[in-house]
Chain A
Amino acid sequence: MTLTQRDELRAYAHHATDARVNVELETEGMTLNIGPQHPATHGTLRIVAKLDGEQVIAAEPITGYMHRGYEKLVEVRTWPQINTLVNRIDWVGSFSNEVPFILACEQLMEIEAPPRARAIRTILFELARIANLVLFAGDMALQLGAQTAAMYAFRDREYVLNLLESASGGRFHPNFDRIGGLKDDLPKGWIDDTRAALVKIREFCDEMDLLVTGNEIFEARTRGVGIIPADVALSYGLSGANLRASGIDWDLRRDGGISGLAYDDVDWKVWTHPDGDCFARYWVRLQEIREAAHITEQLLDKLPAGPIMAKVPRIVKVPAGEAYVETENPLGAMGFYVISAGDLGPFRVKIRTPSFNNISVASWVMRGVYVPDIVTILASLYFILGDIDR
Chain B
Amino acid sequence: MGLVESGKVPKPLTSLLSTSRKFSLWMYQWGLACCAIEMAAAFMPRYDVMRLGVIPLPASPRQSDLLCVSGTLTDKMAPPLRRLYEQMPDPKYVISMGSCANCGGPYWDSYSVTKGCDQIVPVDIYVPGCPPRPETLLEAIVLLQEMIQNEDMGERWRGDPIVLR
Which residues of A are in contact with B by a Cβ distance under 8 Å? 36-37, 39, 43-44, 64-69, 72-73, 76, 84-85, 88, 91-92, 135, 150-151, 154-155, 157-158, 171-173, 385-386
Contacts and interface: CB of A to CB of B under 8 A. Distances in A.
A355 B34 CA distance: 16
Contact of A172 (B37, B74, B113): B37
A69 B71 CA distance: 15
Given A36-B77, A92-B37, A386-B33, A69 B44 contact: no
A149 B38 CA distance: 18
Interface stretch (B16-24, B104-112, B155-163): B104-112
B5 to A, nearest CB: 30
A65 B79 CA distance: 11
B46 to A, nearest CB: 5
A386 B34 CA distance: 8
Interface of B: 29-34, 36-38, 40-41, 44-46, 71-72, 74, 76-77, 80, 84, 106-107, 109-113, 130-131, 133
B107 A172 contact: no
Nearest to A131: B37
B112 A158 contact: no
Contact of B45 (A44, A72, A91, A154): A154
B80 A36 contact: yes
Given A37-B84, A65-B74, A73-B109, 9 more contacts: A44-B32, A66-B32, A67-B76, A68-B72, A69-B111, A88-B33, A154-B46, A155-B44, A386-B34
B77 A44 contact: yes
B74 A135 contact: no
A73 B107 contact: yes
Top 3 A-B residue pairs of the complex, sorted by shortest distance between their CB atoms:
A154-B44, A91-B34, A69-B110
B41 A158 contact: yes
B112 A65 contact: no
B112 to A, nearest CB: 5
Contacts, number: 78
B106 A150 contact: no
B38 A68 contact: no
Contacts of A172: 34, 37-38, 131
Contacts of B44: 150-151, 154-155
Contact of B133 (A84, A171, A385): A171
Nearest to B41: A154
B39 to A, nearest CB: 11
A68 B84 contact: no
A357 B106 CA distance: 26
27 contacts: A37-B84, A39-B29, A43-B31, A43-B36, A44-B32, A65-B74, A65-B77, A66-B32, A66-B72, A66-B77, A67-B74, A67-B76, A68-B113, A85-B106, A88-B33, A88-B34, A92-B37, A150-B44, A151-B45, A154-B40, A154-B41, A154-B46, A157-B41, A172-B34, A172-B131, A173-B34, A173-B130
Nearest to B34: A91
A43 B110 contact: no
Residue from A36, A68, A155, A173 having most chain B Cβ neighbours under 10 A: A68
Given A37-B30, A44-B77, A172-B131, A67 B112 contact: yes
A340 to B, nearest CB: 21
A72 B29 CA distance: 30
A88 B34 CA distance: 7
Contacts of B37: 91-92, 135, 172
Nearest to A154: B44
Contacts of A88: 33-34, 106
Contacts of B38: 172
Contacts of A158: 41, 46
Contacts of A44: 32, 77
A73 B33 contact: no
A238 B107 CA distance: 29
A172 B35 CA distance: 9
Contacts of A151: 44-45
Nearest to A35: B80
Contacts of B45: 151, 154-155
B41 to A, nearest CB: 6
Contacts of B36: 43
Contacts of A39: 29
A367 B36 CA distance: 30
A288 to B, nearest CB: 19
A66 B40 contact: no
A385 B130 CA distance: 17
Contacts of A85: 106
B80 A37 contact: yes
B109 to A, nearest CB: 7
